[in-house]
Amino acid sequence: MNKVYDLIIIGAGPAGLSAGLYASRAKMDVLILEKENKGGQIVTTSDVANYPGSIRNATGPTLIARMVEQCEEFGTQFEKGTVQKVDFSDDIKKLILSDGKELQAKSVIIATGAYPRKLDVLGEKRLTGKGVSYCATCDADFFTDMEIYCVGGGDSAVEEALFLTKFASKVTIIHRRDELRAAKSIQDKAFKNPKIDFIWNSVIDEIRGDGIVEEMVLKNTQTGEKTIIMADEEFGTFGVFVFVGYIPNTDVFKDQIEVNDKGYIETCDNLKTSKPGVFAAGDIREKSLRQVITAAADGAIAAIQAEKYISSKEY
């Protein structure tokens, strides 16, 4: 007989870790599954200034390390594995991993988060890590004194553009519309920054280069007119940083629980999904604010709801 956990949490970002902590403290038998490294998107952040209480040395990784330690202290178990298939139709939920292993649980919390959306243009994939980047803190210093183009008009695009001005000689924001979507306070900073320039009503059509980014083709969204941007002679390359939103990691669950047209899971206030005993927490949910603190709050609520669900079922 396979072991049946009280709760399996899929994803070890802030939502999953918070859920693990609350569930373990409620004396549940809990497993957190993570496909890569613990922490989720926040580990690429060098400075976490807006999570209450995280003042000294608060980087994404230090915050996550403390969350993991706290979970382990209360008995949360961790396992590395990628979920390939799920069956939520019975009282005992089944998860099949990519190595064929089957896990069983009385309740499940989906905390799989989201990943950065790609532009989906010619050359983008081939030149990722060769000038094309989705992580400013990872790659900014390669472009010290060089030019950087930043794609997108939301909060993260403009904030990252501001961060990149500390390195680049010039940062140009390319946006498909003629105005930014970012919060007014962030916009003001960008408009005031002498290193930031804008190309409006434009999208990248193609990125070219032999081994590294050397030129790209922009297309005007109004006129269809194409312009080529070439690297300067001195460096022979430039940076293309892409911040055009996120895609939720719900593919594996789509045939089992309801997701909206953007792929996010819509839940009630108690974070229930369309299947009893299955809850959703963190960036995977349709919500207005995606931050560590909202993810952590979700985790706590989902864990307590899972505990209530199990008690009511009297397994």
Partner 1 sequence: MLELNKDTFEEEVLKAEGFVLVDYWSDGCEPCKALMPSIEELSEKYDGKVKFCKLNTTKARRLAISQRVLGLPAILLYKDGEKVGECSKDDATQQNIEAMIEKNL
**Among 32, 119, 140, 164, interactor with partner 1 by CB under 8 A:** 140
Shortest distance, position 185 Cβ to partner 1, whole Å: 25
CA atoms within 13 A on the CB side of 139: 19
214 binds partner 1 (CB under 8 A): no
Shortest distance, position 228 Cβ to partner 1, whole Å: 20
- Find the catalytic residue in 47, 90, 91, 135: 135
Shortest distance, position 71 Cβ to partner 1, whole Å: 17
**Among 2, 36, 50, 270, interactor with partner 1 by CB under 8 A:** 36
Secondary structure of 134-202 in HEC code, one letter for each residue = CCHHHHHHHHCCCEEEEECCCHHHHHHHHHHCCCCCEEEEECCCCCCCCCHHHHHHHHHCCCEEEECCE
200 binds partner 1 (CB under 8 A): no
Taking the least distance from each CB to partner 1, the nearer of 131 and 277 is: 131
Structure tokens at 35: 């496909």
Catalytic site residue 298? no
Catalytic site residue 145? no
Alpha carbons 16 and 294: distance in angstroms, whole number: 12
169 binds partner 1 (CB under 8 A): no
**Among 4, 29, 54, 61, interactor with partner 1 by CB under 8 A:** 61
**Among 69, 141, 261, 269, interactor with partner 1 by CB under 8 A:** 141
Alpha carbons 33 and 41: distance in angstroms, whole number: 16
Q: CA dihedral in degrees (172, 173, 174, 176; nearest 10)? A: -160
Shortest distance, position 300 Cβ to partner 1, whole Å: 24
What is the size of the binding site for partner 1 (CB under 8 A)? Answer: 31
Shortest distance, position 164 Cβ to partner 1, whole Å: 12
Phi, psi for 34 (deg, rounded to 5): -135, 135
Taking the least distance from each CB to partner 1, the nearer of 6 and 124 is: 124
- Find the catalytic residue in 47, 138, 178, 255: 138
Shortest distance, position 83 Cβ to partner 1, whole Å: 15
Catalytic site residue 269? no
Structure tokens at 121: 């243009």
44 binds partner 1 (CB under 8 A): yes
Q: Locate the DSSP E strands across 11-92.
A: 30-34, 77-80, 83-87
Q: 243 near 116, Cβ under 8 Å?
A: yes
Structure tokens at 11: 């994803």
How many angstroms from the chain centroid is the CA of residue 106? 27
Structure tokens at 147: 């030019």
282, burial (CB in 10 Å: exposed 0-12, middle 13-18, buried 19+):
buried
51 binds partner 1 (CB under 8 A): no
- Find the catalytic residue in 47, 90, 99, 139: 139
**Among 18, 24, 45, 305, interactor with partner 1 by CB under 8 A:** 45
Taking the least distance from each CB to partner 1, the nearer of 99 and 269 is: 99
Task: List the catalytic residues.
Answer: 135, 138-139
Which chain residues interact with partner 1 by CB under 8 A?
A: 36-39, 43-46, 59-61, 128-135, 137-142, 144, 211-213, 237, 239
